[in-house]
Chain A
Amino acid sequence: GAVVSQHPSRVICKSGTSVKIECRSLDFQATTMFWYRQFPKQSLMLMATSNEGSKATYEQGVEKDKFLINHASLTLSTLTVTSAHPEDSSFYICSARDPTRSSYEQYFGPGTRLTVT
């Protein structure tokens, strides 16, 4: 149980275009999902917290107009990187929390490697 999928696993886009990453909880309903960015050999950096049916809460320093997050259903959250630049190239990971579990652990998707050329 507690499986999270993420699509696509890899994406290459041209500078100035937008790219959407999907995160789905497959066997549970996730009222809260999280989006992280991870640089090589570093820890996870939380970008935003996504709550179903409401606006995402962005961490300090994360541009909300650049990284658009939509949590339209209990099983799907999307991250859209708008007007992508080469410095946006990174590994993006989503996670979801199962509200039926009291321990608040997060279950992670396999990640998306974004390369902006």
Chain B
Amino acid sequence: AQTVTQSQPEMSVQEAETVTLSCTYDTSESDYYLFWYKQPPSRQMILVIRQEAYKQQNATENRFSVNFQKAAKSFSLKISDSQLGDAAMYFCAYNNAGNNRKLIWGLGTSLAVNP
């Protein structure tokens, strides 16, 4: 069964600095999608970034980028120029190609941004 592991329950970063959140996953599939979602205190889940496994190029969305290492099954999120509004829970998720294409979720990393 596929699993997603986020080994950092909590992290903190200084405003304007860069932080990297880790995510590893386990799968036997070759074609899949990976996502990072953000859940701020409002609890609205927001899609931050997506990565297709067949693409070698790392996805980038403004200040957010990923380091996708398919062989190592690693999918880390880098947040550059951190802002106070980046403070949130961040969840890594794997898209299961079967079973109605469910998302398999990590336990989350709580990110604090210090002014």
Contact = CB atoms under 8 A, between A and B. Distances in A.
Interface of A: 32, 34, 38, 41-44, 46, 49, 51, 57, 91, 93, 95, 97, 103-108, 110-111
Contacts of B46: 108
Interface of B: 33, 35, 37, 42-47, 50, 52, 91, 95, 100-103, 105-108, 110
Contact of A104 (B37, B45, B101): B101
B33 A111 contact: no
A105 B46 CA distance: 11
Contact of B47 (A41, A105, A111): A105
Contacts, number: 50
A17 B103 CA distance: 31
A107 B107 CA distance: 19
Given A34-B102, A110-B42, A43 B108 contact: yes
- Majority-rule SS of A interface residues: strand
Contact of B50 (A34, A44, A46, A103): A103
A42 B52 CA distance: 26
A105 B105 contact: no
Contact of A103 (B33, B37, B107, B108): B33
B45 A105 contact: no
21 contacts: A34-B103, A38-B43, A41-B110, A43-B106, A43-B107, A44-B45, A44-B91, A46-B102, A49-B100, A57-B100, A91-B43, A93-B45, A97-B101, A103-B50, A105-B33, A105-B35, A105-B50, A108-B44, A108-B45, A111-B43, A111-B44
